[in-house]
């Protein structure tokens, strides 16, 4: 999976993408992430990339030319035009399905806006889809791009140790994930549920499924879908104090 990111702040992205699972996936060659500084493609002698909006109003807009020059340099070197996404609060809301669809593209270009956004003509010219990461407005598209890259990358073969790492997870499975525990066995008087140390895998699986359903009904009933699987008897449960 390859991502080409057009941004005014490539250093910001380099920091995020050089750490942890994504950093290791890059080093191992499972994903490729290239960041391009749009400012490098400005023809202005001061490397200017923004201008005032026609019609007046506050703020500055990213001008179309440097973005187009950056896009053209990427696509000309490739010889094809990858699926191009503009991160924007006006876009389709990003979710796990969108991540799976982007992963199927194999290669995407991400355009990060800044200031008041980008000139509309650049969207018409190069963008296949606008994607929003939520109903709020951020100062730039860098964090949204990082969210998209992280989420899509987790679906790429070998980035996580096994498919179960994400198929059992919240949202992906249609349910929220069951509660999890690690050592110590008792923390501040709260014991780890006995079933998890029983060694009985069938009991553990049943308990986890019940917990997942309980949590989902409680916190995100909207996620419960018709083909949820086994029906479960849900009784209230509390951590036993010892």
Euclidean distance between CA atoms 240 and 128, whole angstroms: 53
Which of 49, 67, 87, 122 touches ligand SAM (CB under 6 A)?
A: 87
CB of 96 to ligand SAM, least distance (A): 16
Q: Does 88 bind ligand SAM (CB under 6 A)?
A: yes
Q: What DSSP character marks residue 167?
A: H
Long-range pairs for 12-16 at CB < 8 Å and ≥24 separation? 12/142, 13/142, 13/145, 13/146, 16/146
Given a contact cutoff of 8 angstroms between Cβ atoms, the answer to whether 166 and 160 are in contact is: yes
The answer to whether 141 contacts ligand SAM (rule: CB under 6 A) is yes
Task: Decide if residue 66 touches ligand SAM (CB under 6 A).
Answer: no
| Rounded (5°) CA angle 125-104-68 | 20
Torsions phi, psi for 66 (to 5 deg): -60, -35
Q: Could you say whether residue 126 binds ligand SAM (CB under 6 A)?
A: no
**Interacting span for ligand SAM (CB under 6 A) from 14-22, 36-44, 88-96, 219-227:** 88-96
Q: What's the CA gap between 21 and 65, in Å, rounded? A: 35
Residue closer to ligand SAM, measured from CB, 145 or 212: 145
Q: State how far the Cα of 176 lies from the Cα of 219, in Å rounded to an integer.
A: 9
Tell me the C-alpha distance between 121 and 62, whole Å: 11
Residue 62: closest CA among 91, 35, 37: 37
Using Cβ positions, the residue closest to ligand SAM within the complex turns out to be 113
Is 116 a binding residue for ligand SAM by CB under 6 A? The answer is yes
Interface segment toward ligand SAM; rule CB under 6 A; list 28-36, 136-144, 218-226, 230-238: 136-144
Nearest distance from C-beta of residue 143 to ligand SAM, angstroms: 8
Position 53 contacts ligand SAM (CB under 6 A): no
Task: Tell me how many residues contact ligand SAM (CB under 6 A).
Answer: 19
In the list 12, 21, 73, 138, the residue contacting ligand SAM (rule: CB under 6 A) is 138
Burial of 37 (0-12, 13-18, 19+ CB in 10 A): middle
Q: Per CB under 6 A, does 182 bind ligand SAM?
A: no
Confirm or reject binding of residue 117 to ligand SAM (CB under 6 A): yes
Q: Which residues bind ligand SAM (CB under 6 A)?
A: 87-90, 112-114, 116-117, 132-134, 136-141, 144
């Amino acid at each position: 999976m390859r991502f080409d990111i057009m941004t005014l702040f490539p250093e910001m992205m380099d920091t995020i993408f050089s750490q942890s699972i994504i950093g290791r996936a890059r080093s191992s060659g499972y994903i490729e992430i290239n960041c391009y500084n749009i400012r490098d493609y400005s023809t202005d002698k001061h490397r200017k990339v923004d201008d005032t909006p026609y019609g007046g109003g506050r703020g500055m807009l990213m001008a179309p030319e440097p973005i187009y020059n950056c896009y053209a340099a990427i696509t000309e070197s490739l010889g094809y035009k990858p699926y191009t996404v503009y991160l924007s609060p006006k876009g389709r809301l990003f979710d796990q399905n969108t991540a799976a669809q982007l992963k199927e593209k194999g290669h995407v270009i991400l355009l990060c806006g800044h200031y008041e956004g980008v000139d509309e003509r650049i969207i018409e010219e190069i963008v296949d889809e606008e994607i929003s990461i939520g109903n709020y407005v951020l100062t730039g598209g860098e964090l949204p791009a990082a969210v998209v890259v992280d989420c899509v990358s987790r679906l790429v073969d070998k980035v996580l140790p096994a498919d179960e790492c994400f198929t059992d997870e919240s949202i992906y499975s249609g349910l929220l994930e069951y509660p999890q525990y690690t050592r110590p066995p008792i923390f501040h008087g709260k014991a780890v549920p006995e079933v998890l140390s029983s060694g009985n895998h069938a009991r553990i699986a049943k308990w986890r499924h019940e917990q997942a359903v309980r949590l989902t009904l409680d916190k995100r009933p909207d996620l419960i879908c018709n083909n949820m699987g086994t029906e479960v008897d849900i009784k209230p449960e509390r951590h036993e104090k010892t």
